[in-house]
Amino acid sequence: MAQSTPFPSQTDVDEVSKSFAFTTRLDDLVAWGRKNSLWPLPYGTACCGIELMSVMGPKYDLARFGAEVVRFSPRQADLLLVAGTITEKMGPILVHIYEQMLEPKYVIAMGACASSGGFYRSYHVMQGIDRVIPVDVFVPGCPPTPEAVLDGVISLQKMIGDHKPRPWRDNWVNPYEQKQ
């Protein structure tokens, strides 16, 4: 009479599966890939744009964080890096670029000018790009150090990885369409 093979217990199956498989939530896996493959569009208008170049260069090497694939087309980018003074006249163009970017998309305001208008307290300078587009991370400084910019990118990565809610993004409406 043939002997029947005993079925392995659930514990045995779990132990064996640990040797070749790991489990995670699909959301976490997607967020992990997303945060480590940001494609930035550098919107450099002034001195901060020059500083941003050093962040991309070999010394500070943004590539270590997976964000070195700089794109000059909004349709190929998901991180808008605004580096420099933004005038009121540039506002509609900035919004137009933001709207053309891929979802999900993120914004970093680099430096005092992009974050608050900097020392330009004048009618023609926008007193912070968050007046027209939703900003995820503000990087202080005039200009910010490359380390501060890297810290901003890391903060954004953490926000993505932790699935942090972004009400400023969810509630955003194009301010120029509102005025029409």
Binding site for ligand SF4 (CB under 6 A): 46-48, 84-85, 111-113, 118, 142-143
Classified as helix, coil or strand, 109 is strand
Least distance in angstroms from the C-beta of 111 to ligand SF4: 3
Amino acid in the structure at residue 111? G
- The residue among 119 and 176 lying less far from ligand SF4, judged by its C-beta, is 119
Closer CB to ligand SF4, 41 or 113, in the complex: 113
Q: How many CB atoms lie within 10 A of CB 117?
A: 19
The minimum distance between CB 63 and ligand SF4, in angstroms, equals 23
CB of 47 to ligand SF4, least distance (A): 3
Query: For 91, what's the count of Cα atoms within 13 Å in the CB-facing half-sphere?
Result: 19
* Residue 6 burial (C-beta neighbours within 10 Å; 0-12, 13-18, 19+): exposed
Dihedral angle sign, alpha carbons of residues 58, 65, 166, 152:
negative
Nearer to ligand SF4 by Cβ, of 127 and 174: the residue is 127
Least Å distance, CB 108 to ligand SF4, is: 13
Cα 70 off chain centre by: 13
Report residue 30 as tokens.
Answer: 């997607």
Residue 3 φ/ψ, nearest 5 degrees = -80, 135
Q: Which is nearer to ligand SF4, 84 or 134 (CB)?
A: 84
Q: Cα-flanking dihedrals φ and ψ of residue 106, to 5°?
A: -135, 155
**CB nearer ligand SF4, residue 62 or residue 160:** 62
In the complex, least distance from residue 109 CB atom to ligand SF4, rounded to whole angstroms: 10
